[in-house]
Copies of this chain bind each other. A is one copy, B any other.
């Protein structure tokens, strides 16, 4: 079974000095932390903040190809963790045929956010690796105006 993710937030793990993404499980204060690379974090932050870029980034290129060829993104699933590496699947559909593609979570998340498709996490991962993320002021973010968002985003990028 899978749990749905309703909020994605990002931070910087000060111990490992690595970007970390928290996937909050719907109707809970539990978040699954996933450590990702600096470049991947930059692209994920751009996606979360819906920042437009003058030219297509790599994930836009991928989505442009899929759109041009009549594929739809349905959902992504974070399905496993082995040796501290998370595995995920991207579900595509074309003419009622389902295609499942193995992916790093960072790529799957960026595509999911850009395409506004649902994100699921396997129960086992939530139970084993989920943490209480009520210390992250997620709801406050919803009331921020655009300028604050942009400022925070700029600060986030400057932290790298």
Contact = CB atoms under 8 A, between A and B. Distances in A.
B99 A64 contact: no
Contacts of A42: 39
Given A39-B39, A42-B39, A99-B69, A104 B55 contact: yes
A117 interface: no
Contacts of A107: 56, 58, 61
A127 interface: no
Interface string A113-146: 0000000000000000000000000000000000
A64 B90 CA distance: 12
Nearest to A65: B101
A56 B111 CA distance: 15
B104 A68 contact: no
Top 10 nearest A-B pairs by Cβ distance? A39-B39, A58-B58, A62-B62, A55-B104, A61-B107, A58-B107, A61-B103, A65-B101, A64-B101, A68-B99
